[in-house]
Amino acid sequence: MRAMVSVKLPALLGTLALLAAGPALAQAAKPAAPAPAAAPAAPPKDVGPADIKKAVTCQSLVTQFDDRLTASKAADDVKAKARDLRAAGNKACNAKDYDAGMEQVRQALNTIEVKPML
């Protein structure tokens, strides 16, 4: 009789566990509502290959500006204008419009009375 009880006990415990978990399993089985479809991303604008020499020159000018700005004796409003020119130039360089970017960063350097190295 003891063998029969030991066999029935695990089966009984398993059945009780399934009954207790029934509502949780039933909820998990319901499919979720489909997520709304996102608008397709626009393909990236191909601006062509980078001109490495101009890219390096552009970033060198930006670095020169950043290094010399705090030491500049220019007025704060002049420095603010120069920062705007530098930001626009850096943005143009990052968009691979190197000639426009270098020109703007050179203007920024001249604004704070620093001669561009390149």
Estimate the crossing angle of helix 76-94 against helix 52-69, to 10 degrees: 160
Range from 2-16, 45-59, 72-86, 94-108 carrying the lowest mean pLDDT: 2-16
pLDDT given for residue 40 in this prediction: 64
**CA torsion, ordered 43, 45, 50, 56, to nearest 10 deg:** -100
Domain boundary assignment for the chain: 52-111
- Using 50, 70 and 90 to split pLDDT, how confident is the model at 49? confident
Instruction: Answer whether 0.75 is exceeded by the pTM.
Output: no
- Using 50, 70 and 90 to split pLDDT, how confident is the model at 73? very high
